A and B are shown apart, each in its own frame.
Chain A
Amino acid sequence: MDTKPFEPKIVAFMCNWCTYGAADLAGVSRLPYPQNIRPIRVMCSATISPHHILRAFQSGADGVFIGGCHIGDCHYIKGNYMTIKRVAFMEDLLNWFGLEGRLHLEWISSAEAQKFVDVIRRFTEKIRALGPNPIPALLKTPKAIWNGADDEGHCANVA
């Protein structure tokens, strides 16, 4: 039996020009923040497609965080316009699908080390309260998989 307390795994995509800088600044300023994030540096928050978000959840991430430049400050002018459209869409889709509150986007400039720390802390606590990503467990339980054919004679893939 696994008795370790639940430690959320959060994949954090961070824009090189802002949030990653803020994380760096938080580090050199010795501001403590939860070690639950797995940082991935990207050149612009707009390089994060819904594919990356879905891939992270499929691989068992408990939360996905995206940090980008404030609107108007994107290094590539309007990259973050795309980011917010995608995230807004993905939030709606995931909420409806049954994976609620596990995706978060925030604009954090490279000077906002304190904001970065606060956001990461709050998001980690939110995910901690939500508990682990339910997908891996659901895929293992016989409740989601069933044997034999259903009413229409369709057979299941029992891996």
Chain B
Amino acid sequence: MKDIVRTWLESGRIDLFLGYRLVDGHPIPHCFSKERLEEVEQLTESLARYPLEKIAHQMLQKDPAVRIGLMARDCTQRSVRVLAAWNQIDMDRIRVLTMSCCPSDAKDKAFCSYLQEPETGPVRKSNGMPSTGDPDDCRVLPAEERLRRWLYEFQKCIKCYGCRDICPVCFCKDCGLEHEDLMDKGVVPPEVPLFHLIRAVHMAGRCVDCGLCEEACPVGIPLRLLYRKVNGIVTDRFGYRVGQTKDQSPFNVLGEFSPLELSSLDD
């Protein structure tokens, strides 16, 4: 891996490389360059996860001509595709170097902090959303109970915007979560469930299921479960899978036809 990055930088195929650098035993995100090639020696694969593609996006906004190499997990590759589909980055400017993350029998290493099991105790078990990984597991609970549990989760929110700020596919210049007409700006805690459901709507057909938001959330709201659900609806209703095509989600663009039937009042 180090050799590849060195070659890419030396040959000028890329100007910069975003990866992790081991500093005093800690892997931190770092931008490697041709000028300081010796740093590549400290390049490391690690459990640590940062939205490197988001950093690349911001760099490309400043200098559209720069060519960036990226240490990329599976989720990184999905979000690069999503960012390209929404015309946020130019694929020609990005070169990815795949790293081993999600586990598989076909490989011997799996680097991802998300693979660690979340811990839950009795309070969370009786009030929180069961974080099983499948959003439809909660269907066993009656509607009132699901609502109560989600409100319990959302009421912990301190409106730090961490979920949005870490998210690789949150790129809006004017974020709806700060829109005065929608909810009060600068007021904590946020109105729930409004705050979280608005973000959920935005993530439909866009979230790449990297889980960074949930990892960043200081109060442990099972955000990934929520966004899995909205993506599931988009897949069921419109047959769209995030990060697997070059197209934008049909939930967000008009398109040529709308094959859906109205639901009846008798249902």
Contacts and interface: CB of A to CB of B under 8 A. Distances in A.
A97 B197 contact: yes
Interface string A75-108: 0001011101110111111011111110011110
Given A85-B258, A93-B233, A105-B262, A98 B150 contact: yes
Contacts of B136: 96
Interface stretch (B27-35, B47-55, B247-255): B247-255
B151 A54 contact: no
B102 interface: no
A2 interface: no
B201 to A, nearest CB: 4
A85 B194 contact: no
Given A138-B147, A146-B152, A81 B237 contact: no
B203 to A, nearest CB: 11
Interface in A38-91: 50-51, 54-55, 58, 71, 78, 80-82, 84-86, 88-91
Contacts of A88: 237, 260, 263
B172 interface: no
Contact of B194 (A55, A71, A80, A157): A55
A95 B144 CA distance: 11
B207 to A, nearest CB: 13
A55 B237 contact: no
Interface residues of B, number: 59
B146 to A, nearest CB: 4
A151 B19 CA distance: 34
B157 A157 contact: yes
Contacts of B156: 150, 154-157
A30 interface: no
Interface stretch (B72-80, B90-98, B184-192): B184-192
B193 A97 contact: yes
B263 A91 contact: yes
Interface in A91-129: 91-93, 95-101, 104-107, 119, 122-123, 126
A91 B201 CA distance: 12
Interface stretch (B8-16, B38-46, B103-111, B116-124): B116-124
Interface in B150-164: 150-152, 155-158
